[in-house]
Structure 1
Amino acid sequence: MNGKVNDFIRKHQLFHKNATVLVGVSGGPDSMALLHFLNGIKTEWGFRLIVITIDHGLRGKQSRADVDYVKSICNQWDLEFVETFLDVPSYKKVEGKSTQLAARELRYQYFEEQMKVNDGDYLALAHHGDDQVETMVMRLIRSSNPSALKGIPIQRDIANGKLVRPLLCITKQEIEVYCSEHGIVPRRDPSNEEDTYTRNYIRHQVVPLLMEQNPQVYASMQRLSERMTQDEAYINTKVEEFVEQVITFKHDKKEITFEIELFTSYPFALQRRAYHLILNYLYDAILSGLNYAHEDHFFSLIHSERANVMMDLPHNLKMSKSYRTICFHFQKTKPKSFLKHLNVPGSVVLPDGSSIHARFTTEINGNTNDVMYFPVHDDLIHIPLTVRTRQPGDKMKVRGLNGSKKVKDIFIDEKIPLQKRQEWPLVVDQQGTILWLVGLKKGTAEHSHNSTRCYLELQYNKAN
């Protein structure tokens, strides 16, 4: 075992000299073998070893006896020792999580704390080759994501250092032989022998069948894991380049947009990974409520002929398609209609922070969609004015067009996103005539240069 593990450590550069190494030790054969091995190379590498032992509060006196056993070994071997109690049953009840997931979350939280407290360079854990096979089989059963086949990583970041797994290159049997050869009498957790948990079932029922077909299946799985990790790392660099070129991030609103035509011009493998990268960014971490049905709906939506579609995702995340643009955004509340009176002269602030200012003037400055002038003496408008959102059946007379046109059709012609239409401001006079679809379309009451020398100016200022 020593030779294999030493070669594995050097191949993957798992440690550096004179490092502070924290070791997670439960008292079982795997972690005791790891601790014995690291203690054996401690002087050569100049390690400071700190043993971390956790009572998860799941097996009463047995759990406490495990901690006491590890503590006694550390005293014998003159090793630094840290212990803690984690109330997994209470955490599990409050969070509504499985026993294994609750224990894992609390355990890794404590590991991170200890890495920071002790300024640790490495946290060494005792996952081995059989664990790798079990994990990859479980993920193959449960997931269709190729990245799941990366399995248990050899190393990854944790707190201010690295989490490393030096025993992934050896089997459970080799660990048992190592313990026997070195007189290690480990503690045993009876729950590991039950088939209640999926992992235990795979360990006892599935892995032995695989071993019959290929006694070196653990080595094959580890090589597959390493190659998948390398391939994924390369693909992810391409995905990041793709995302940077195609996707617009609005960090202040936690919102992203992209043009469908540009997005779909890239290989599908990059599109799929970009979708997951988007969700990682928006959620900070992927939620359990997301599944591959959402991914299928996403790709169906971007290839759909429908111009305006919205899809709901967990935690009020919306994915909307507006013509050839996709937008992901959080919607805390439904868009609210509003009605506000606009004094003349005066101003009104709209719910989104934009404003409309009204004043009398004798000069016309510019001709943009954000300003409108009405002749005061032509009796074309009737004060007071109102600013409101659209209502069913709204129509307006548009310059250059005979008759009236539905506001809904104007929005469609102008390709206004569905979620913006409910909040779009309209200026209406006392008789209900729509004078201005603000910033978009002007009614027929706008000024004629020869009609008057006094105008009512309406200026629209967008929110920052």
Structure 2
Amino acid sequence: MFNTFFMHDALTNRVGEFLAAQGLRGPAALIVVAVSGGPDSLCLLHALAALARAGGPRLHVAHLDHGFRGEQSAGEARAVAEAAAGWGIPASIARADVPALARASGEGAQAAARRARYNLLAQVARDTGAQAVAVAHTADDQAETVLLHALRGAGPAGLRGMRPVVGWGEWAGGMLNVELRMLNAEDNARHSTFHIPHSTLLIRPLLDTSRAEVLAYCAAHGLSPADDPSNRSPRYARSRVRQRLLPALAEENPQVVAALGRTARICADDYDFMQRALDAAWPALAVERPGSVALGLAAWRDLHPALRRYALRRAAARLGAPELSFPQVEAARAAIDAGSPRRVEIAGGLSLEFGYNSALIRAAGAPPEPDTPQLAGGRLALVAPGRTPLGGGWACVAAEEPPAQPSPWWVAVSAELAGELALRRRRPGDRIRPAGGRGGRRLQDFFVDRKVPRRLRDAWPILVAGEAILWVAGLRADARAGGRGGAVIWVGIVRETE
């Protein structure tokens, strides 16, 4: 059924160049290849096998019988196993009862099938220690994905479609949770002996290759791929896009697949740019704690609305919530923009609560906030003398009289500095010169010595005058604080109720 004649051609060379760009070209690399038995995956496997025979990466086939089509799909599993054996490639062949999985989870059949399929790929990658998992999505698949996302309404995150390379945490996160039955006995004995390869990539070497090129490759090499009739069923949205919408669009633009591929690449770059902009804003914007993310309102107001949306999506993702819909994001964004004083339910068990200068996104069952002041924003100028809310139920008081009850949360600084006082979070390279100590030391080392929990260090309030550190709140004054002679002003961090 499968020809074993291997030779290099344009498609094979293109796949080889893709692998080389990812550092996967040599025999030290191991790639798990997802093979359904259809033309796309069979083409990919054959091209990879040709590269492997010429000193390329080692291969391991993974195939899942989804249990949809009875003996037909079982026969396809046997054919994939025979092809792998004929080409000298080890294989993991498994079966899952996807219809039962869909009924139990309440998700659609295609979504359940995808989850089971990627579950198998994650397990095989874990058990073999593979550096990458290769799937056979083509340029036509990319065009269909972009159209599907556009029809549902999407921004750059959706219109970027599928990416050529995806990290383990994104493609395999939460996938190791579906019961699979391994069908080849030697695989059962070999499994569960390796570590989880947290750096395993998901790669799509054919994403710039058209379906027509794939079919021509299969014909040129005498390959006989399986035919899955569900790929043409109008029951599924992707099939309708493939059978009806793309051909209609091709009448207007015969290069529509290439055009949609360009759209995906442009949107991918735009999305990456926005994420980098959010990365730069995030330290001054967000304080992350177990079960919650606090967004400083001062930093929030400086964000473009597009970055506000991405910030909300990132906060939800960090809290393990399902991806938020556009209406959910907009409702939360509008509430923060308006400074709503009440608790707002977002979605996925997330709620939005408001402090004096922060909006707190909290997961259901999150632990209570630490009994320690934390700065939700970047730099906060102090009213001196006066009272400055910090959020989270805390305030900073600057007074000319000493506190009635002295504590480590009060410090005396020179009154000459009153107009320059501010609180900020730590920065890379910060150093403190403890009053009464010798020399200076890194603030990071100081936090370690004082056993400050790692999760509290980034947002710990630091009193400064201009750029000079005066006080690590509650822990140690800096020699530059002064306050030993002449007029002083007392600065303390207190509960709002005090």
What TM-score, normalized by structure 2, do the two folds share? 0.63
- Between 1:21-30 and 1:215-224, the stretch displaced more is 215-224
State the match for 1:402 in structure 2. Answer: none
1:98-113 alignment to 2 at 5 Å? Answer: 98-113=108-123
Selected match of 1:128 from 132, 138, 143: 138
Residue identity matched to 2:242: R
Q: Cα distance 1:150–1:2, how it changes in 2: closer, same or farther (>3 A)?
A: farther
**Deviation for aligned residue 1:324:** 4.2
Q: Cα distance 1:32–1:331, how it changes in 2: closer, same or farther (>3 A)?
A: closer
State the match for 1:232 in structure 2. Answer: 271
1:96 aligns with 2:130: no
State the match for 1:453 in structure 2. Answer: none
Distance 1:255 1:108 in 2: 29
3-state SS of 2:54 partner:
helix
**Deviation for aligned residue 1:98:** 0.8
Selected match of 1:10 from 17, 24, 28: 17
Distance 2:127 2:267 in 1: 34
3-state SS of 1:258 partner:
strand
3-state SS of 2:53 partner:
helix
Per-residue deviation, residues 41-85 of structure 1 (Å, max 9, x unmatched): 212243212111111111110111001111222232222222111
**Deviation for aligned residue 1:112:** 0.9
State the match for 1:266 in structure 2. Answer: 303
**Deviation for aligned residue 1:171:** 1.4
Q: Cα distance 1:304–1:326, how it changes in 2: closer, same or farther (>3 A)?
A: same
Contact 2:349–2:364 under 8 Å retained in 1: yes
Q: What RMSD over aligned residues (CA atoms) do the two structures have, in Å?
A: 2.6
State the match for 2:73 in structure 1. Answer: 63
Residue identity matched to 2:51: I
Contact 2:284–2:299 under 8 Å retained in 1: no
What TM-score, normalized by structure 1, do the two folds share? 0.68
Distance 1:42 1:186 in 2: 21
Contact 1:27–1:186 under 8 Å retained in 2: yes
Selected match of 1:219 from 258, 263, 267: 258
Distance 1:130 1:366 in 2: 71
Residue identity matched to 1:293: P
Selected match of 1:149 from 116, 136, 159: 159
Per-residue deviation, residues 313-349 of structure 1 (Å, max 9, x unmatched): 234422023454312123549x9xxxxxxxxxxxxxx
1:227-306 alignment to 2 at 5 Å? Answer: 227-251=266-290, 254-282=291-319, 284-287=320-323, 290-304=324-338
**Deviation for aligned residue 1:297:** 1.7
Q: Cα distance 1:121–1:368, how it changes in 2: closer, same or farther (>3 A)?
A: same
1:17-416 alignment to 2 at 5 Å? Answer: 17-18=26-27, 19-158=29-168, 159-251=198-290, 254-282=291-319, 284-287=320-323, 290-304=324-338, 308-332=341-365, 367-368=404-405
Q: Cα distance 1:84–1:331, how it changes in 2: closer, same or farther (>3 A)?
A: closer
- Between 1:130-139 and 1:321-330, the stretch displaced more is 321-330
Distance 2:148 2:137 in 1: 15
Contact 2:32–2:59 under 8 Å retained in 1: yes
Distance 2:211 2:313 in 1: 35
Per-residue deviation, residues 8-39 of structure 1 (Å, max 9, x unmatched): 65267143311212111111111111111111
Distance 1:70 1:195 in 2: 27
**Deviation for aligned residue 1:225:** 2.0
**Deviation for aligned residue 1:228:** 2.3
State the match for 2:482 in structure 1. Answer: none
Q: Which structure's CA Rg is the greater one?
A: 1
Q: Cα distance 1:247–1:180, how it changes in 2: closer, same or farther (>3 A)?
A: same
% of aligned pairs identical? Answer: 26
- Please list every run of 5 or more consecutive structure 2 residues that lacks an aligned counterpart in the other structure: 1-7, 169-197, 369-401, 408-493
